[in-house]
Amino acid sequence: MKDMMRYKDYYGSVHYSDEDRVFYGRVEFIRALVSYEGTDVDSLRRSFEEAVDDYLETCREQGTAPEKPFKGSFNVRVGPALHQRIAIAAAQKGVSLNKFIADVLEREAAKENAA
């Protein structure tokens, strides 16, 4: 993934501030604010991994479940006309609306990943 790091199924962004001369980022795809910074690639990577470990340890200490970056469900607002068209298309294929949309998204994501 471009401009992203992965550790323990968490993803972190990578940015650079020329003014501060520092690399920085945050753990993406969760609501909690978990940020990190470093002065070079190695220190940024270490800081990211430490931030994830600290987040998981804090959750353990507080007795709360850590947020998972991807739960497998999300809401999409498409408007009534498109909703109708895709519901009909799914019915014509004999699949649920959920399966129809998942298949379309899988196809499109495969195209994007191949590019």
Residue range 95-109: average pLDDT? 94
The residue among 55, 3, 58 whose CA lies nearest residue 25 is: 3
Residue 74 belongs to some domain of the structure: no
Asked if pLDDT for residue 24 goes beyond 70, the answer is yes
Number of domains in the chain: 2
Q: Do 89 and 57 share a structural domain? A: no
Cα dihedral across residues 84, 90, 95, 101: positive or negative: negative
Q: How confident is the model at residue 25 (pLDDT cuts 50, 70, 90)?
A: very high
pLDDT at residue 29 in the model: 95
Region label for 24, one of left (φ > 0), alpha (ψ between -120 and 50) or beta (otherwise): beta
Residue 71 lies in a domain: no
Give residue 1's pLDDT: 58
Cα atoms found within 13 Å of the Cα of residue 48, Cβ hemisphere only = 25
Phi-psi region of 29 (alpha: psi -120 to 50; beta: other; left: phi over 0): left
Residue 7 reports pLDDT greater than 90: yes
* 68 is a domain residue: no
Q: What is the pLDDT of residues 61-78, one digit of tens each?
A: 999 999 999 988 888 999
Q: What is the DSSP string of 45-60?
A: HHHHHHHHHHHHHHHH
Residues 54 and 90 in one domain: no
Write out pLDDT tens, residues 79-95.
Answer: 999 999 999 999 999 99
pTM of the model: 0.76
